[in-house]
Amino acid sequence: MTRILLLTLLCLFPGLLSAQLVNIEAKRMQTDSVRFALNADFSFNHTNNDGNQVNQIDAAITTQMKSRDLRKIYFFLGNYRLINSEGNNLQNAWFLHGRFNYKFDELPLLRIESFIQGQYNQLLVVEQRNLLGQGSG
């Protein structure tokens, strides 16, 4: 009985954990044969409400580049947000993610992928989160 309970807990445990703060798969750019894609946004907002000033800056960039033979894919994602009032940061966050994907011609079902990521979020108390990884599929 103890073994069954332990096995059940081990099977459920990964589903209970959620360490991913940003879903990169949802951010990927779906382009078939387009070799270069870019999406960039920037906004600034200043509000003065009875002498209380609030400044907000938002910036984001997403780009994807493919090699001529479409075997190599480079993907970059970055964003920054700052909300400041009376010299105090109400929110200060940035996120950078870079990814490289390589498709083998000899083995069409095999790909290798590497990524590097950095993150800071004052509101979520993420002082500095750096990740590095590689995999195949």
pLDDT one-digit tens code per residue, 16-63: 444 556 677 766 766 677 889 999 999 999 999 888 899 999 999 999
CA 1 to chain centre: 42
Instruction: Report the predicted TM-score, pTM, of the whole model to 2 decimal places.
Output: 0.74
Residue for token digits 């994807």? Answer: 64
Q: Domain extents for the chain?
A: 37-136
**Residue 32: its pLDDT value, please?**
72
3-class SS at 9? helix
| Contact between residue 132 and residue 115 where contact means Cβ atoms under 8 Å apart | yes
Task: Give yes or no for residue 15 having a pLDDT over 70.
Answer: no
Dig out the tokens for 26 from the structure: 């949802």
| Contact between residue 83 and residue 56 where contact means Cβ atoms under 8 Å apart | yes
**Residue 108: its pLDDT value, please?**
77
Identify the residue with better confidence: 8 or 40. 40
Output the CA–CA distances (angstroms, integers) from residue 120 to 21, 65, 90, 97, in the order listed.
Answer: 11, 26, 14, 12
What's the rounded Cα separation, in Å, for the pair 53 and 86? 6
Point out the least confidently predicted range of 29-33, 81-85, 91-95.
29-33
Task: Give yes or no for residue 118 having a pLDDT over 70.
Answer: yes
Say which residues have a Cβ less than 8 Å from residue 108's Cβ, sequence separation at least 6: none
What's the rounded Cα separation, in Å, for the pair 118 and 97? 7
Over residues 120-125, mean pLDDT = 88
**Residue 16: its pLDDT value, please?**
46
Identify the residue with better confidence: 88 or 78. 78
| Contact between residue 39 and residue 31 where contact means Cβ atoms under 8 Å apart | no
**Residue 102: its pLDDT value, please?**
94
